[in-house]
Structure 1
């Protein structure tokens, strides 16, 4: 197969698969179906079984045994992750062309001995779209609700009184473009989107792939990896011909091309059992396709 490099990790491919073919369906998928699906992408059986075991151990999958067969379904944690990814791809998108000029500014102060807490908070800030300005000040180009940043899942991280949050606009003489260049890795973001275009903006992407399911899962896994680290910076303050614009157009074009065929293949190979799964209140993506994969015979 003409595979792009580096290859997506098996867990990343797994989350893409779960988000497209398991989310909102109250099912658990037979382990053999995972092996069959990911074999199309060159992922071996041992790697898939190890990934399933590891994800179950981390609370991302729930085991459901039926006789001698093991099935895997979603947990509350994995459902939250998948809904977040769906929102980033299909509702918010990678291109911020309607920015209202407002920023979220967050500052924090911690003792030097709090190295772990400092590292964890910085990781969550990057995930939420913030970039550092220095001296404990971080900015995001939108109104960000920071409860899940400083207290994920209601967990008390001991940050009460150590974090301050403000919302507002940048005023003269602030150079917004320069501020963005200082706080965010524009070169790294642009390189990711250019690599996506190099792999997918061609007449026949992945010509050696066995079917549209393999192409769709690979493409969506790469795209999710990009949008999860993209803070959606306002296009008006980015370099001309920002590659995310073209890359998002390619994504939507190829989604129309692959999605129906991918769903048909998934219908054939996914075996499942119905199970009670966590249900989180969240609007469904308009036009979301939920394949009627094969149930137990």
Structure 2
């Protein structure tokens, strides 16, 4: 059995059929622990204006990545999550539902990673920046990467090993000293204004959403989770004392938890109807 291919870019991509399919698999298929018909997935994706051809292509490509396997029952095809697919989706669900901006306790220490890549190796520099950024690191100045999450050192080591840069890197734990401003360092390392604006857009969109029909609840719940999936990769999840005042991420976290609970039963009921349960 092939190992599923997953990338953080695909996990947070906005409107692709495959990204929406991943949300459906994680929100409805994974908890149900039973196969799902092609028609169920095609009809569900149609709620988001995904055409049947694109839906079937998304299924085929997701299966090719090792997330799904199919079998025939008469003239119909049903899909089952592979063991590796279940593992990745369960891991993603834990990340999504356990995520809360500003909720982490912090002992004041920073993980600092020093790694320098020559300007002439631009492609390698770009890969390093992209990978460390997706892992939650920020860079206040060239060659310096920081995070308040000390456990992220394992992620950094994996990235540096894969890019063959470990021998050129150093890491250490530190508290901020007397020079300069810790908050100014944070502002240079991360674009919190952009993240905050994205959170506010999430709040504006979903606080105004009022589903009333079975399809409406299914669509609203799926969109809620689909949009929320972005934030664990966009937000470095800094401790509350490092965040701007009236951080919109706190409001967004509360709204997500409230709406997910409020809409869940009606959305699951509609999914069960489509699935023929």
Taking structure 1 as the reference length, the TM-score comes to 0.77
| 1:257 Cα deviation from its structure 2 partner | 0.9
Structure 2 residue runs without a partner (length 5+): 1-12
How many aligned residue pairs are there?
264
Specify which of 137, 155, 160 is matched with residue 166 of structure 2: 160
- CA change 1:16–1:145 in 2 (3 A) is same
CA distance in 2, matches of 1:80, 1:125: 24
In the alignment, structure 1 residue 99 sits paired with structure 2 residue 106: yes
Specify which of 240, 248, 261 is matched with residue 235 of structure 1: 240
In the alignment, what sits opposite 1:131? 138
Taking structure 2 as the reference length, the TM-score comes to 0.82
In the alignment, structure 1 residue 184 sits paired with structure 2 residue 185: no
In the alignment, what sits opposite 1:278? none
Q: Residue by residue, what CA displacement relative to the aligned partner does 1:21-64 show, whole Å, maximum 9, x if unpaired?
A: 2336654432221101122222221221122223333x152332
CA distance in 2, matches of 1:162, 1:270: 53
Bigger proportion of residues as helix: 2
In the alignment, what sits opposite 1:252? 257
In the alignment, what sits opposite 2:8? none
- Superposition map of 1:66-105 within 5 A: 66-67=72-73, 68-75=75-82, 78-79=85-86, 81-96=88-103, 98-105=105-112
Structure 1 residue runs without a partner (length 5+): 1-5, 272-293
- CA RMSD between the two structures: 2.9
In the alignment, structure 1 residue 47 sits paired with structure 2 residue 54: yes
| 1:222 Cα deviation from its structure 2 partner | 0.7
In the alignment, what sits opposite 1:146? 153
Specify which structure has the bigger relative contact order, considering alpha-carbon pairs within 8 angstroms and separated by 6 or more residues.
1
